[in-house]
Amino acid sequence: MRYFGDCSPNLWAYRPIDSIPQKAIIDTNVLLDAILISDGIGTAALSGLSQRKIALYTTRKSISEARKTLCATRDYPTNITKLLDIFVQQSGIAVHDDDRRMLGIKDHDSHLAAAAVDLSAFVVTEDMPLLYDLDRSRIHGRSLRETVLACVAPNQPHQNLMIFGCGSGADGHVFMKFMPHEDLCKKADRSWFLLDSPGFMSISYNGNMRSFEINWEAGGQLILPIELSSEEQYALYFNYSVGKRTNAQVRVRSVGSQIEHLASGVLAPLQQRPNGKITLMNSREKNVGWKGTLQNVTFGPYILNKKVWRASHALVGVAPPTLTADLTQIASLLTEIKGDHVRRPLWQQVVQMLNVCIPGFYPGRGRAERPDEWFD
């Protein structure tokens, strides 16, 4: 079984919600996204669940955490915490109060698992390690991305649900899940490109050498030997850390497997920020495309921690939370309350502000590594 409650073995893009309890426990991070961004993925998920007649719940601790976060992200007088109470009331979200210890779940998150057990519900959260712990504890959980995909099916989803990133910084990652076609798994004297970004990097599978190749345009290459199978879904994670030299790693796992393929090395330092142009499932010349499927791609200006990577490669449908990562503080700063009027930002406005705030590329990370002209 690929995950707890698996009932759709041919569905690899997300975990469906039709066969699980029709009650949802809303985590703090989902509440904040829905409260602050007028057309964000949190709003889309809660609206979709309500349309499916799925009862919405949260916990007293989640509300308390959301209130503290809203207070912490605003250092000027306007108080936006009252938005929380208004939103919970108007959305018909019931509040459950149970903070008992749950075996296999961190103390910090036990209130969500306890509520799910008490109410025969599933947890909606952007906490990837929690999704992993819930699955191992046989408690249903879903990410926002999965929830929205399940709600819009069988209609075509918005592209951002499948492919989304929020820029590149001094550190960064690229994550993707894919399945190769059987033709690709046979020995073929050609390369099969998953991603190609001019001025940045490319990710391809060398059919002759039976290996993934990361070509770094500033100089350098990572090679990861692996025999692919057309019956498996794979998760690939490339991360880089920029300094006088670029330390990089590429990891590949068959989803749910205990075996990890790893290659690491030193690449040339980037001299400028990538231009953001990306070709997926092909090269920039569009003559050596990937054959198979591509379930999702995420990228961002930070390195995934080990627990996020573990959850993302272990569970079908789970991907790093780039759709909500680092958006709360910016969204709260763009939110205004004047009397009875509230102005909440659009998701695109928040993302644009986030991209402005991403640290730029320098020839080195430390101050002593950088030429003086960068700081004139």
- 366 assigned to some structural domain: no
CA 19 to chain centre: 24
Residue 376: the pLDDT is 44
In degrees, to the nearest 5, what angle opens at C-alpha 10 toward C-alphas 147 and 280? 70
d(CA 163, CA 45) in angstroms, rounded, equals 17
Claim to verify: residue 141 and residue 189 sit in the same structural domain: no
Cβ–Cβ under 8 Å, residues 45 and 124: yes
- 7 assigned to some structural domain: no
Evaluate if residue 13 carries a pLDDT over 50: yes
**Confidence band for 367, pLDDT divided at 50, 70 and 90:** low
Q: Any idea what the CATH number is for the domain that residue 84 is in?
A: 3.40.50.1010
Claim to verify: residue 39 and residue 128 sit in the same structural domain: yes
Cβ–Cβ under 8 Å, residues 100 and 106: no
Which residue's structure tokens are 């794979």? 234
pLDDT digits (tens, 9 = 90+) for 101-111: 999 999 999 99
- 295 assigned to some structural domain: yes
The pLDDT of 336-351, averaged and rounded, is: 87
- 157 assigned to some structural domain: no
φ/ψ (deg, to 5) at 257? -80, 155
d(CA 313, CA 349) in angstroms, rounded, equals 31
Token pair of 82, please?
A: 């009252």
Cβ–Cβ under 8 Å, residues 38 and 23: no
Predicted structure pTM score = 0.92
pLDDT digits (tens, 9 = 90+) for 255-299: 989 999 999 999 987 777 777 789 999 999 888 899 999 999 999
Specify the range with the lowest mean pLDDT, choosing from 70-74, 219-223, 231-235.
70-74
Which domain, by its residues, includes 266? 167-314
How many structural domains comprise the chain?
Answer: 2
Which residues are within 8 A (CB) of 160 and not within 5 positions of it... i.e. 6 or more apart? 323
- 161 assigned to some structural domain: no
Claim to verify: residue 105 and residue 229 sit in the same structural domain: no
Claim to verify: residue 256 and residue 147 sit in the same structural domain: no
Helix (H) or strand (E) holding 224: strand 221-225
**Confidence band for 340, pLDDT divided at 50, 70 and 90:** confident
Claim to verify: residue 268 and residue 136 sit in the same structural domain: no
Claim to verify: residue 176 and residue 127 sit in the same structural domain: no
